[in-house]
Structure formats: C-alpha cells, structure tokens
A and B are shown apart, each in its own frame.
Chain A
Amino acid sequence: MLQILRPDGSLTSDPPIDIERTRELFAAMLTARRYDQKAMAIQKQGRLATYAPFRGQEAAQIGSAAALRPDDWMVATYRDAAAMWMHGYGWELLLLGRMGDERGGHPADDVPVLPPSITVGAHMLHAVGLAWAARIRGEERIAATYFGDGATSEGDFHEAMNFASLYRTGTVFICQNNGYAISMPTSGQTASETIAQKALAYGMEGVRVDGNDLFAVFAATDAAAAKARGGQGPTLIEAVTYRVGPHTTTDDPGRYRSDEEEAAWRDLDPVDRVRRYLAAERAWDAEWEARVLADATDDVEGAVRRAESLPAEDGPEIFEAMFERLTPDLARQQGDVQ
C-alpha cells in the first residue's frame, strides 16, 4: 500500500507537491470538514432531508480531485461533496440537492461535474462514456469516477472496468474503501483480499494507497491522470480510508461496529497528519488555521443562507426539465398543477 505521509507527519519519500500547494490542500480539507460539520448540524435541525457525511475521507477526496485539470469530467456520489467542491461544484448547490431541490443538480457551465449519483454503481459507466467521447473527439479530457467498496459488488462495476480497459478510455476509477457499505463491512462485500487487485482481471493497473494520506492519494491520481491523458488507459485506485460518521443521518453505526474500531481510525485522521507535517516544516501555525477556519465558516454559512433563501420552485416548474420542450400531454398536466 502506497504511503508517503505517515500518521505522525513524517515522510516515507519525497512529497508530490510543494509546501505552498500542501498548505492550499490542507486549507481545502479544513474547509470541507467545516462544510461536513455544518451539514450534519443543520440536518439535525430538519433543514436538510438526509445527509451522507464524508468525515475521515477528506484526503481521499481533496487529494484526488486536486490532481485533475479543470476541464476533466467528474462523476461522483452522494458522499463525495468534498471532491465535487474541489472541482468547482458549489457548496450552495450541494446543499440545495440535500434540501431536496433539483436545482442543486445544475452546476455552472464551466464545471464538468455531474450531479451526485444516488444509485450505487451505474455512474461508473458514465465516466467511461465521457472519457471515451473525449478520445473519439481527440480531446485531452479524462474522467474521474468516485465510488465506494460496496459499489464494486455491482455488475456495472464489472462492465465499466471491462469497457474502460478494452477501449483504453481515459478513466480514473477512484474507490474510497471506507470499510462499510451502510452496515456491511468490506469483508462481507468481496472475498478478494483487496479492491485494487480486481483490476488485474480486466488487464488494468490497480493501485492501493493509504486513503488518509493526502500525498499518496494525490500521487496515485496524478500518475493515473497522466496515463489516462496519454492514451494509456484507465487505472483503478483503491484509497483505503474510513467512514468516521454514519452512512447517513438516518444510520446508527453502533449497531454494527465497535467504539474501539472508531477510536483507532480517529488516530489516523487525514487532517491531523497534514497539520503535523506542515508544523514540522514550519509552515503551519494556529493563527493561520484559525483564519482558514473562519473563512471556511463564512463560505459555508453564506452557502447555507443562499440555499435556504431560494424559494422552492412552483408547481408548474416541475414539468419544465423533462424534455427540451414540453410535450402536449405534459403541458396539459402542468395546467392541472397550481
């Protein structure tokens, strides 16, 4: 398993990014965590429908998204808000989606990120098609897709891996193996020793990295992206991490895992280890982190305000995006909605 940054903040080898970039990504991880905390809090107040927290997976998401180019496609899931935000999808839209508003699925025109997939597995094929289209058109764009350990049991994982490798599409498969698919541990999902080894069956490279190590995730994604861009085909990255929180706000992890297990993973926290590294490099101080967090709080609070102040669509508007133009029947039905 590739590890560059140990939990104590020391290095096993040279980091893939410089100190300044590391500070930026550390700030991004802090900001994402602030968003995650805020979303959990306002969900408890009934202001979001349900929320799937990503706490513990900040390195896996920020580190991988940071290795993409702005015009690369991203096809991710309901737990990948940090990766999507890193790639340009606003907090406000992510919140809107979780409030139950389809307008949260409409990112800005220059943000090539699909709305978060709620189905588990089907979306990996979309990333294969997106990268395939880029190749047919002679573009350098690639597509990254995010999924969990549970999704690797879906038939569409097999079909996506097979198509991607067969046609050498520029797809980067990023599996955040966070230990659980709701209550099912990874050991109940597959008899394979690792997720990464599944790549072998498809004639694809599989890489297993410490998913709580920002540098390892970045390095693996950067290498996979370069390979994809160069027409050398897809890569499966297994980022071994841990879902510190519940599956969603409706879940109770106490029913299927122990406090000891959770505590052990807290010691491997992805944010803490970057802080230790930066501190050792004399590139961190508490005052700076407090400023970053204050800015993050402002950003997130502003996003919450904007999302919540947007009035719900009115009844007739729910018909408007079924087709480019309303069909006669839809127009009639629309007339029956106040």
Chain B
Amino acid sequence: MKTIAQSINDALRTALSGSDDVVVMGEDVGRTGGVFRVTDGLLQTFGPDRVIDTPVAESGIVGTAFGMAVAGLRPVVEIQFMGFSYPAYDQIVSHVGRIRNRSRHRFTAPMVIRMPYGGGIGAAEHHSESTEAIYTHIPGVKVVVPSTPYDAKGLLLAAIDDPDPVIFLEPIRLYRSVKEEVPDHPIRVPIGEARVVRDGSDVSIVTYGSMTRESRLAADKLAELGVEAEIVDLRTLTPLDVDTVLESVRATHRAVVVHEAQRTGGFGAEVIARIQEEGLYSLEAPIERVTGWDIVVPLKRTERHHLPDADRIVRAALRTLEA
C-alpha cells in the first residue's frame, strides 16, 4: 500500500533510473527530501547533479529548467506550494507554453512543474491556494491533477514522458490520507482521460483532485438516501476529456461540478459551459456547482467554512433531483 506522496516518490525514482535526461530540482528537494518528503532519498541515490537543491527563486527554477528542457533534458521542477508559483508565472505563460509555437516545433520544453495545492491542513497564508484556473487558461501547457496513489504515479510518469510541458498539481490534504496498491513497475495513466470512479444513475458529480474524496463521501451519504451518484474524476483539466463528462451526464441527466477553488472564473465554469454546449438537452435540472467562495482562502480557524464538504455536495445533488 502506498500513499500519494510515496507513489510520486516512486514515480520520480522510476524516471530518474530510466533516463539520464531526467533531473529533479526545487527548493529543499534534496537534503530534506522536500517539505512534504515527496523527494525523500532521491539525492542520496542520484546525486546532486540530478537532484538539485535550488535557491529560493521560483522564476529562476522554472526559467533555468526551461533552458534545460530546450537542451533536451527532462526537468521535473517542484514549486514548494502553489501559492509560491506566481513569481514563475511569467516564465510559464510567456515561454514554457509558447516556445514550440514560437519556433514552429524547432524548440520544445518537455518539462513537468509539480505544485502541491489546496487547503484542508490549516496551513499559513499562501499555503492553501487552488488557483489551477490561471494555469488551465494558458495555451501550450497541460494541467494534470491526480487524486489517487495509482493515478499519481501513472500520470506523473506520463507527464515526464510527454513531449510538452505539464503542470502537475498534488492535493496536499490527500498526500498521506489515501492509500492503495500501486505496482512497483512503471505504469502510465494517459493524460487527457477522465475516469468514472463510482458508477451511479441519478446524478453526475464532476470533480478532480482533493474534492474527489469529498465527492465519494457525499456519494455514500446520497446512497443512504437512495440516490446513486456517478463520480467523474477529471484527472486532466487541460486537455479536458469532455466526452467522458458528457457520457455520464447524458446517462444521469443531472450534474454537480465540484472544486475547492474560488467560484468565479474557476475551472468548473468551463466544465459547465462544455456540458451546456454539447449536452444541454439531456439535462433535467440546472447544473449545480459546489466550490470555494469568492474570498481569500481563510486561515486555519475558519477554513472549513470555505472548503466544500460532503454535506454541501449532497445538498447540491438533492437540488438537482428536486428540479
């Protein structure tokens, strides 16, 4: 049994062993094994040329990794928390996502930018951000969010193999709270494929990352009320697997979209737009969304009022059934 944190470590170890081109870099990823210990032991095995403790400089980390990627390496960058990724945003939006297009395929940036994201652990300000929408809006990068140990390993190895840049979001609150069997051998989970993680015929819950667990809890509660919810874990936000979402919604005729990020302009808005564009006539009720509020993520003592929980998801699902 492995946690998500162990599974990502396993994937990094697999990738570093598999190719000399893979390098891991970031703040405190070497000696301490990262603040979440995700890179634990990699420095000892692979040495300081391939597991690089960097200065505290997010633009510098992503900008130099970009140069390495253009030169043919496969850098896997760790940004310590998503809330600290913004100094690197210019590198990502202005260069990482553009070099292939700017050079008409002559230069490419096959790199992975890992970011722990999301709340639920009562961390300090800036440590609980869920701002994936500012990354899903960028052309030329893919955004991946696993919610299980198996997917974490399979998606990370797929991201490292990918010929284009991938932003890899790791739900902080699930790092150690979910365990499952993960094969020791290399596995791949294709980028761009959602997965139905629970079958149900009454309502579709479309979610990803940290909210997948809350959605499962909600589905269990709904089942006690005689409502069978289907859960679609998107796993990849961009490119979005809209077909799997539509297939589910066409069968259940009802949808609840769930994420912990703030509501306005959140990724849920895109999912809902896609459902109405292509699946409106199969709907029996307005689409509900359960999200964080349009406020700064509250600190520890009031965070629970902001983060969606199973009860909010249950209430939203029931509203779609009442309509």
B63, A122: Cβ atoms under 8 Å?
Answer: yes
A265–B71 Cα gap in the complex (Å)? 39
Chain B residues lying within 8 Å of A133, measured Cβ to Cβ, are 67-68, 71-73
Residue B100 CB within 8 A of the other chain: yes
A321 CB contact (under 8 Å) in B57, B100, B242: B100
B63, A114: Cβ atoms under 8 Å?
Answer: no
A122, B91: Cβ atoms under 8 Å?
Answer: yes
A134–B70 Cα gap in the complex (Å)? 11
Chain A residues lying within 8 Å of B64, measured Cβ to Cβ, are 125-126, 128-129, 132, 160, 163
Chain B residues lying within 8 Å of A330, measured Cβ to Cβ, are 239
Take A102-B102, A136-B73, A322-B101 as given contacts and tell me if A130 and B23 are in contact as well, using a CB distance cutoff of 8 Å. Answer: no
A105–B66 Cα gap in the complex (Å)? 17
In this complex, which of A119, A162, A327 has the most chain B Cβ atoms within 10 angstroms of its Cβ? A327
* Chain B interface, number of residues (Cβ within 8 angstroms): 45
Within 8 A of B (CB), among A97-129: 102-103, 105-107, 109, 114-115, 119, 122-123, 125-129
Residue A143 CB within 8 A of the other chain: yes
A129–B63 Cα gap in the complex (Å)? 7
Chain B residues lying within 8 Å of A115, measured Cβ to Cβ, are 102-103, 107
Chain B residues lying within 8 Å of A134, measured Cβ to Cβ, are 71
Residue A46 CB within 8 A of the other chain: no
Chain B residues lying within 8 Å of A128, measured Cβ to Cβ, are 60, 63-64, 67
Residue A14 CB within 8 A of the other chain: no
B104 CB contact (under 8 Å) in A119, A159, A321: A321
Q: Closest B-chain residue to A114, C-beta based?
A: B107
Number of A-B contacts (CB under 8 A): 137
A114–B108 Cα gap in the complex (Å)? 11
Residue B164 CB within 8 A of the other chain: yes
Chain A residues lying within 8 Å of B91, measured Cβ to Cβ, are 122, 125
B59, A129: Cβ atoms under 8 Å?
Answer: no
Nearest Cβ distance between residue B57 and chain A, in whole angstroms? Answer: 5
Nearest Cβ distance between residue A169 and chain B, in whole angstroms? Answer: 8
Q: Is the interface of A mostly helix, strand, loop or mixed?
A: helix
Mask, A133-176, CB within 8 Å of B = 1, is 11011000001000000000001100110110010000000000
In this complex, which of A126, A143, A160, A321 has the most chain B Cβ atoms within 10 angstroms of its Cβ? A126
B95, A122: Cβ atoms under 8 Å?
Answer: yes
Chain A residues lying within 8 Å of B49, measured Cβ to Cβ, are 136
Given contacts A122-B91, A163-B64, A327-B239, 7 further A-B contacts (CB under 8 A): A105-B102, A125-B59, A126-B70, A128-B63, A129-B67, A129-B71, A159-B55
A-B contact pairs, 29 of them (CB 8 A): A75-B67, A102-B102, A114-B99, A119-B94, A123-B95, A125-B60, A125-B66, A126-B70, A126-B95, A128-B60, A128-B64, A129-B63, A129-B65, A129-B68, A129-B71, A132-B68, A136-B50, A143-B67, A156-B59, A159-B57, A159-B63, A160-B63, A163-B60, A163-B64, A321-B100, A324-B100, A324-B108, A328-B243, A329-B240
Where the two chains meet, the residues of A that have a C-beta atom closer than 8 Å to any C-beta of B are 73, 75, 102-103, 105-107, 109, 114-115, 119, 122-123, 125-134, 136-137, 143, 155-156, 159-160, 162-163, 166, 321-324, 327-330
Where the two chains meet, the residues of B that have a C-beta atom closer than 8 Å to any C-beta of A are 23, 49-50, 54-55, 57, 59-60, 63-73, 87, 90-91, 94-95, 99-108, 139-140, 142, 163-164, 192, 238-240, 242-243
